Every structure is written in structure tokens, then in C-alpha cells.
């Protein structure tokens, strides 16, 4: 074996072991050589040798990287661009190189593979680089590096950033809407009870603000920003309600049973304010009677998607819907039913409307 043949054999073995695609084109853009890494695109080298390189290029990218098309565009404009174009079938030798050309390749099954290409011209070669090219005129040698994983990672980062920006805008909208809701409730309360002491009004306003803060804390802690696990939310709500509504001398205990299904975030603020309104009236009844009482909350998710929230307790016997409560229930998308009465039937039921 001659030294030239041995060198060619070693070079072919080296190219075959590379993870990147190595290709050689003739002056017409026809593949003369491909190493085994072309399998990244689902092909064997023999299937593409003799084919035009455009076969593996995304149609939208071909006009920008094909030498014949680009050169023809330049001739029509009669002005060479300030930045030399990057070409897949680069032909000029010397210092001219195509470096880090970003291109979309087509896998054999049709899906897109993102890649970068480095290519240079080989007009001045005295002997072929690879055995089997005798009598042919190699014009371009290039290396294709698969960057699909990096591209998808970049896309995921951009998508994540876009989602966070949308969520931030949505959160600003929700805060604004909920502050407007509190202002409207305060106005309604002044109309319904103009003689109510200012201390009582401030206490109720404080409870509403705390209830809204609880919702946003739950949203912050949730894995999903559009839904919250019901059991965790109602547990937090009951603890906050006991702290907010407690009156000196009142002995009210809240008991909770909740199925662990999801609550939609858009319901939470008006729903929690409605519950606070109901419980506040129950606390007042308990305070006036000086009796120890228990209020049970039961949230159930029925088959077929129906959901109900029941409040039971002796102190709920005289609770009737107010204009404020009706507004909140409507915004929360729930209907209100009062139990008919009886020792064990004091309370009400909230029926959740479909969110679709």
C-alpha cells in the first residue's frame, strides 16, 4: 500500500468516527462524499451521494444559502452586500470561509434538525482528499454540527420568559380588578349600613384585604398558576378566617373536609370574600348568643365535574344573602341555597357553575 493510499484510508477512518457530518460537494452542489454521521438525518451515505445538497435543506432556507441563487440575486441588484453571504456550497478558497451558518435540515422522516455549518472552497486541491474521488472536481468541503438540543433549550427559555411576562401582566390585571372589587364592596357596605362604626368597617376591610393576600400567596406556592388544590387552599383559608373574624368572647370552631380537586384561580378572590361574608355573619350570631359553636365546611367534587361547598352550623340559621354577598357569589360563579332548617340542617350550600 502506497503512502498516499494509507493516508487516504486513515483519513476515511477518522472522518467515519466523527460525530459531525462531513460532506464534499462538486461545483454543481452534488454530494461527492458523506461520512456515516449523515445517519443523523436518517440516511446512509450511499443514498445521498450523487444527489443535490438541497435535498436535505429546509425549503425556506435554500434561497439564502445556495450559491447559485444568492449569486443571481447579487447580479440583479448589481451591488455586493456589505456582509458576505454565508453559503452551504462555499467555493472560494483562500481566506474565504463560511463560519457558523445556521440552517434547518430535513430529516428523512420530515422533521426539522437544527444545525450549524462551516464550509470552505477546495478549488486548488491537487489530489482528492478521499479515495474514490479520482476524476472528480471537489469544490466544497463542509462540516455540519447538530445543534437541535441547544436550539430547543433556547426555545424553551424564550417560551418560559414569554409565559412569565404573560403571567405578570395577568397578575397585574387581577390585582387591579380585585382592588376595584374591594372598593365597590366598601361602597355598597356604606350604603347598606351607613351608621356602622368606623372601627367595624375597617375591621371588615382588613379581613377582605387579608383574604385577597391569602389567594395570591396560594397562587405563588402552587405548581400551576391557573389552578390550586382545594384542600390546601381551604385549610389556609380557615386558619386565616379564624384569626380575622375572632371576637372577644366568641367561641367558634371551623372544621374542614375537602376533596383534593382543583380550584380555578379566577374564582378564588370572590369566593374567599363570599365565604368571609358568610362566616362573619355566623360569628356575629355566635357572639351575640355567647354560645360555643362549630361550623363545618365541606367541599365535594362529584362525578361529572359537579362541585359543592356546604357550610353547616347552628350560628348559620339566621344568615341571609346580602347585596354584597350576591355580588361576590355571582363573580365567583356559584349559586346559593339555604338549607330548610332544623337542628342539624342550619347552613347553606354553594353550587359551582361550570367554568367552560
Question: Is the model's pLDDT at 342 over the cut of 60?
Answer: no
Angle at Cα 271 formed by Cα 265 and Cα 275, nearest 5°? 145
| The C-alpha cell that represents 64 in the structure block | 439564502
Question: Is the model's pLDDT at 247 over the cut of 90?
Answer: no
Which pTM does this prediction carry? Answer: 0.48
Q: What is the CATH architecture of 3-146? A: 2-Layer Sandwich (3.30)
Question: Is the model's pLDDT at 280 over the cut of 90?
Answer: no
Which of 6-15, 115-124, 323-332 has the weakest average pLDDT?
6-15
pLDDT band at 182 (very low <50, low <70, confident <90, very high): low
Where along the chain do its domains lie? 3-146, 153-352
Q: What is the pLDDT of residue 73?
A: 84
Q: Rounded to whole angstroms, how far apart are CA atoms 294 and 87?
A: 78
Q: What order of strands is seen across the sheet that includes strand 292-301?
A: 251-258, 292-301, 307-312, 347-352, 334-338
Question: Is the model's pLDDT at 127 over the cut of 70?
Answer: no
Helix (H) or strand (E) holding 330: helix 323-332
Fold of 153-352: Heat Shock Protein 90 (3.30.565)
Question: Is the model's pLDDT at 304 over the cut of 60?
Answer: yes
Question: Is the model's pLDDT at 106 over the cut of 90?
Answer: yes
Amino acid at each position: 500500500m502506497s503512502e498516499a493510499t494509507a493516508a487516504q484510508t486513515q483519513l476515511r477512518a477518522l472522518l467515519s468516527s466523527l460525530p459531525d457530518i462531513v460532506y464534499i460537494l462538486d461545483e454543481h452542489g452534488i454530494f461527492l462524499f458523506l461520512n456515516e454521521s449523515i445517519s443523523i438525518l436518517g440516511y446512509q451515505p450511499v443514498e445521498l451521494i450523487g444527489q443535490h445538497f438541497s435535498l436535505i435543506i429546509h425549503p425556506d432556507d435554500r434561497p439564502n444559502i445556495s450559491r447559485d441563487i444568492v449569486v443571481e440575486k447579487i447580479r440583479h441588484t448589481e451591488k455586493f452586500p456589505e456582509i458576505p453571504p454565508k453559503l452551504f456550497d462555499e467555493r472560494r478558497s483562500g481566506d474565504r470561509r463560511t463560519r457558523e451558518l445556521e440552517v434547518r435540515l430535513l430529516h428523512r422522516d420530515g422533521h426539522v434538525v437544527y444545525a450549524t455549518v462551516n464550509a470552505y472552497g477546495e478549488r486548488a486541491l491537487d489530489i482528492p482528499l478521499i479515495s474514490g474521488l479520482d476524476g472528480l472536481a471537489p469544490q466544497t468541503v463542509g462540516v455540519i454540527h447538530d445543534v437541535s438540543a441547544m436550539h430547543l433549550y433556547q426555545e424553551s427559555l424564550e417560551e418560559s420568559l414569554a409565559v412569565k411576562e404573560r403571567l405578570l401582566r395577568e397578575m397585574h390585571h387581577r390585582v387591579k380588578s380585585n382592588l376595584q372589587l374591594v372598593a365597590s364592596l366598601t361602597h355598597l357596605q356604606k350604603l347598606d349600613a351607613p351608621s356602622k362604626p368606623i372601627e367595624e368597617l375597617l375591621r371588615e376591610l382588613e379581613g377582605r384585604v387579608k383574604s385577597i393576600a391569602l389567594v395570591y400567596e396560594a397562587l405563588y406556592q402552587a405548581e400551576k398558576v391557573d389552578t390550586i388544590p382545594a384542600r390546601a387552599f381551604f385549610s389556609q383559608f380557615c386558619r386565616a378566617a379564624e384569626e380575622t373574624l375572632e371576637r372577644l368572647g366568641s367561641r367558634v370552631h371551623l372544621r374542614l373536609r375537602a376533596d383534593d380537586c382543583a380550584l380555578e384561580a379566577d374564582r378564588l378572590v370572590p369566593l374567599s370574600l363570599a365565604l368571609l361574608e358568610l362566616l362573619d355573619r355566623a360569628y356575629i350570631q355566635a357572639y351575640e348568643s355567647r354560645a360555643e359553636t362549630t361550623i363545618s365546611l365541606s367541599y365535594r367534587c362529584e362525578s361529572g365535574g359537579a362541585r359543592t361547598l356546604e357550610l353547616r352550623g347552628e350560628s348559620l340559621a339566621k344568615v341571609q344573602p346580602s347585596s354584597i354577598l350576591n355580588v361576590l357569589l355571582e363573580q365567583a360563579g356559584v349559586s346559593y341555597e339555604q338549607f330548610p332548617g332544623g337542628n342539624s340542617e342550619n347552613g347553606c350550600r354553594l353550587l359551582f357553575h361550570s367554568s367552560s
